Amino acid sequence: MNVAIDIVSDLVCPWCFIGKHRLAQAVTLVQAKHPGARFQLNWLPYFLNPDTPPEGEPYRAFLEAKFGGATKVAKIQMAVADAGREAGVTFDFERIVTRPNTLLAHRLVYRAQSTGHPPAEIDALVERLFVAHFQRGEDIGDIATLADIAAECGDRKGDVIDYLESREGTQQIKALVGKVGGLGVTGVPFYIVQRRLAVSGAQTGEVLAAAIMQAM
């Protein structure tokens, strides 16, 4: 049986990174009970902060302004790191300098999906983008950085640069963001299973597995 899951996320959302790994745990749990299940994952874009400048903004200053100071940010990041550790995800927040605008990164994922890249390659690309931001402190709003990441995941660097330097895919991303908003999605991660069951938040693998089997 084929199981379609739409995953609404932003690549600068730490809970989306955790949610990706918890979804992988859920897939393993489901396949243990339903060995014939085959999963089709589709990544949909979301902008946590639509007003982020194209060149990005200072990461620490943004967080402290949003959450009310360095102490509160440290507390939040500690909670995120603890949750990540349980899911097999590590964070290195101190390495992050820039909070990027993620339009280019979303376009890169959209390109991989719309041009028929293998599922494993798309998964590796999404994982690598999360790793770039949250573990390596790389600027995923920078074309050269994105091209290097795409090349690591099996794409052609020159083709990626040409694509990202154009406007191709921009309107499609904005349309998808609008469509997601029209569905009532106001936070991420958000999962839509078999186009009929919605799950909001970085739920545990067990909760996600139960929802998937219910939709099946």
The tens digit of pLDDT for each residue in 46-59 reads 999 999 999 999 99
The structure's pTM equals 0.96
Residue 204: per-residue pLDDT: 97
Q: Among 129, 120, 119, 127, which residue's Cα sits nearest to residue 160? A: 129
Residue 211: pLDDT band (50, 70, 90) is very high
Residue 167: per-residue pLDDT: 96
CB-based burial of residue 37 (10 Å sphere; 0-12 exposed, 13-18 middle, 19+ buried)?
middle
Q: What is the mean pLDDT of residues 171-188?
A: 96
Q: Give the 3-state secondary structure of 67-103.
A: HCCHHHHHHHHHHHHHHHHHHCCCCCHHHCCEECCCH
Residue 127: pLDDT band (50, 70, 90) is very high
Q: What is the mean pLDDT of residues 196-209?
A: 97
For Cα atoms 143, 147, 151, give the angle at the middle one, nearest 5 degrees: 175
Q: What is the mean pLDDT of residues 16-40?
A: 97
Alpha carbon distance 4, 1 (integer Å): 10
Alpha carbon distance 57, 102 (integer Å): 12
Residue 157: per-residue pLDDT: 97
Alpha carbon distance 87, 69 (integer Å): 27
Q: Are 150 and 164 in contact (CB under 8 A)?
A: no
Q: What is the mean pLDDT of residues 117-130?
A: 96
Residue 86: per-residue pLDDT: 94
Q: What is the mean pLDDT of residues 121-141?
A: 98
Alpha carbon distance 111, 164 (integer Å): 10
* Residues 134-173 pLDDT 10s: 999 999 999 999 999 999 999 999 999 999 999 999 999 9
Residue 99: per-residue pLDDT: 97
Q: What share of the chain is helix, strand, coil (3-state, %, to 5)?
A: 55, 15, 30
Residue 216: pLDDT band (50, 70, 90) is very high
Two tokens, residue 51: 């007003």
Residue 139: per-residue pLDDT: 98
Sequence-ordered list of residues with C-beta below 8 angstroms from that of 38, at least 6 positions apart, any chain: 1, 2, 3
Residue 63: per-residue pLDDT: 97
Domains of the chain: 2-215 (3.40.30.10)
How do beta strands 38-45 and 2-9 pair?
parallel
